Amino acid sequence: MIKIDHLSVAFDGTEVVKNVTIEIGDGEIVGVVGESGSGKSVTALTLMGLVAEDAVLTSGRILFDDVVLAEAGKTRDKALYQKYQGDEMTMIFQEPMTSLNPTKRVGAQVEEVLKLHTKLSKEEMKEKVLKTFASVGLKDTKKVYDSYPHQLSGGMRQRVMIAMAIILKPKLLVADEPTTALDVTIQNQIIALLKEINEKQKNAMLFITHDLNLARRLCHRIVVMKDGCIVEQGETKQIYEAPKEAYTRRLMEAVPSRIPKKVPRVSGEEILRVEHLDVYYPAGSNSLFARKEKNHVVKDAGFTLHKGEVLGLVGESGCGKTSLSKAILGMNRDVTGVISHDTVRPQMIFQDPYSSLNPTKTIGWLLEEPLRAAGKLDKSLAMTKEDRRAMVYEMLKKIDLKESYYDRKPSQLSGGQRQRVSIGQALITKPGFIVADEPVSALDVTIQAQIMELMQQFQEEMQLSYLFISHDINVVYRMCDRVMVMKDGRIIETGDTQEIFDHPKEEYTKLLLLNS
Partner 1 sequence: MKQKNTREKKKWNNYLVAGLVMTGITLAIAVIGAFWTPYDATAMSASLKFAPPSFAHWFGTDNFGRDILSRVMEGVETTVVISVLVVAASALVGVLVGALTGYFGGLIDEITMRFTDAVNGFPSILLALVILSVLGGGVEKLILALSIAFCPSYIRIVRSEFIKYRDADFIARARLMGVGWARILFVHILPNIFSTFLVSIVIGFNNAILAESGMSFLGIGVQPPAASLGKMLSDAQGYLSSAPWYALAPGLAIVWIVLGFSLLGEGIRRWNN
**What are the φ and ψ backbone dihedral angles of 439, each rounded to 5 degrees?**
-65, -20
For position 315 contacting partner 1 by CB under 8 A, the verdict is no
**Is residue 415 close enough to count as binding partner 1 by CB under 8 A?**
yes
Binding mask 423-442 for partner 1 (x = CB under 8 A): --xx--x------------x
**Does residue 95 belong to the site contacting partner 1 (CB under 8 A)?**
no
Q: Is the dihedral of CA 83, 86, 90, 96 positive or negative?
A: positive
Find the shortest distance in angstroms from Cβ 261 to partner 1.
Answer: 27
Helices in 290-331 by DSSP H: which ranges? 321-328
- Pick the closest to residue 424 from 383, 458, 375 (CA basis): 458
Q: Give the DSSP per-residue string, 178-197.
A: TTTTS-HHHHHHHHHHHHHH
Strands 55-64 and 2-11: antiparallel
Which DSSP symbol is given to 1? -
The 3-state DSSP class for residue 264 equals coil
Give dist(CA 277, CA 336) in Å, integer.
6
Q: What span, in angstroms and rounded, lies between the C-alpha atoms of 278 and 120? A: 55
Question: Is-contact 356 364, C-beta < 8 A?
Answer: no
Q: Which of 151, 257, 411, 457 binds partner 1 (CB under 8 A)?
A: 411
Check residue 357 for interaction with partner 1 (CB under 8 A).
yes
- The yes or no reply on residue 354 touching partner 1 (CB under 8 A) is yes
Residue 329 lies near partner 1 (rule: CB under 8 A):
yes
Binding characters for partner 1, 330-349, by CB under 8 A (x = yes) = -x-------------xxxx-
Q: How far is the CB of 206 from partner 1 (least distance, A)?
A: 20
CA distance 281 to 297: 7
**Taking CB under 8 A as the rule, does residue 90 contact partner 1?**
no
Q: What are the beta bridge partners of residue 495?
A: 483
- Residues 61-80 touching partner 1, rule: CB under 8 A, are none
Q: Which of 93, 207, 280, 350 binds partner 1 (CB under 8 A)?
A: 350
* Smallest distance, partner 1 to C-beta of residue 410, A: 9
Residue range at the interface with partner 1 (CB under 8 A); choices 162-170, 252-260, 420-428, 456-464: 420-428
Closest CA to 305 of 338, 272, 329: 272
Task: Show the site string, 19-38: x = touches partner 1 by CB under 8 A, - = not.
Answer: -----------------xx-
Q: How many residues does the chain have?
A: 516
Number of residues lying near partner 1 (CB under 8 A): 33
Q: Kindly tell me which residue out of 358, 387, 460, 503 binds partner 1, with binding defined by CB under 8 A.
A: 358
Q: Which residues bind partner 1 (CB under 8 A)?
A: 36-37, 329, 331, 345-348, 350, 352, 354-361, 369-370, 373-374, 376-377, 409, 411-412, 415, 422, 425-426, 429, 442
